[in-house]
Chains A and B, each alone.
Chain A
Amino acid sequence: MGCVESMNYEILMRDGSFKECRAYIKEHFTEYIEVQPGFKILDIPVIGIPPIAIGLDRDFIIFPYTKPCHGTFLLRVEDTAEAARLRAVKKSK
């Protein structure tokens, strides 16, 4: 299982609701993929209400990250291989 703390991430939104994060992704990123809860992003099972929107912006992945006490964060992480994998998943759907 991956660990967010080991990643070089940028927080686009903090203490938001899950729905606010989903709306933000759909409003700000023309390229996104919808996945089910438990789908792994950077080896981390994603938490949320299906369908979960994952934004793609060049080599950046934008995804919700939920913690019980702090709500949902919207994180932006650069990972060329993972962005390519997600695009392949989207294409195969």
Chain B
Amino acid sequence: MSGDTSVQPATALLVLGCPQVPVQTSIALYLISRLKRAGIVPVVAGNKAANMLLVIADPDRHYLGEVMDLDRAVAQISEKKRDFDRCFVFIHNDAGISYAATMGAISHGKLFTLVYGEHFEELVSQIEFPCTTIAAKAVHNPLPLKKALDEVAPWAA
């Protein structure tokens, strides 16, 4: 008699914000690449525009795996139909803080907040829930946020 010894790979959800700040798409693809290299299965959840920016940029799906609608992701997690080991929430406005707080409340996964944009320090000061915050003043150039991400290396956490 043999039992099922298969081990499910770790998973990560990337919760995208409004794509009006250019660094989001670049950092999302970079994070997906690092997660996949670490054996973690990334799933992206965003609104239509945020998702399409990624899908169009990666037509052969070298980086992207599953891409889902943000509202559907929130519904599935809150209904306990699905969960992820890690959750990364992209934040550059008040709505991003609300989504991060929601993920922290409904998901059992380790929460990371990626805060960027012109007013990133003000946003960081509003985060009053448990999470690991990765923040940098990055709007057009993703390098400051990439450096902050590399220092934390959440794919290894």
Q: Which residues of A contact B (CB under 8 A)?
A: 1, 17-18, 36-40, 45, 47-50, 66-72
Contacts of B98 in A (CB 8 A): 18, 47-49, 66, 72
Q: Check B97 against A67 for contact (C-beta < 8 Å).
A: no
Q: From residue B116, how far is it (CB to closest CB) to chain A in Å? A: 14
Chain A proximity of B130: nearest CB distance (Å): 12
- A48 touching B102, Cβ below 8 Å: yes
Contact residue among B72, B96, B129 (Cβ-Cβ distance under 8 Å from A68): B96
B101 and A50: CB pair below 8 A?
yes
Q: Identify which of residues 93-122 in chain B touch chain A, using a CB-to-CB cut-off of 8 Å.
A: 93-99, 101-102, 105-106
Q: Which residues of A contact B94 (CB under 8 A)?
A: 17-18, 71-72
Q: Is the CB of B97 within 8 A of A18?
A: yes
Q: B11 in the interface, Cβ–Cβ < 8 Å?
A: no
From A47, A66, A68, A71, contact of B16 by CB (8 A): A68
Contact A1 B72 (CB under 8 A): yes
B78 within 8 A of A: yes
CB distance from A37 to the nearest CB of B (A): 4
- Cβ of B138 to closest chain A Cβ, rounded Å: 18
The CA-CA distance from A56 to B140 in the complex, in Å, is 43
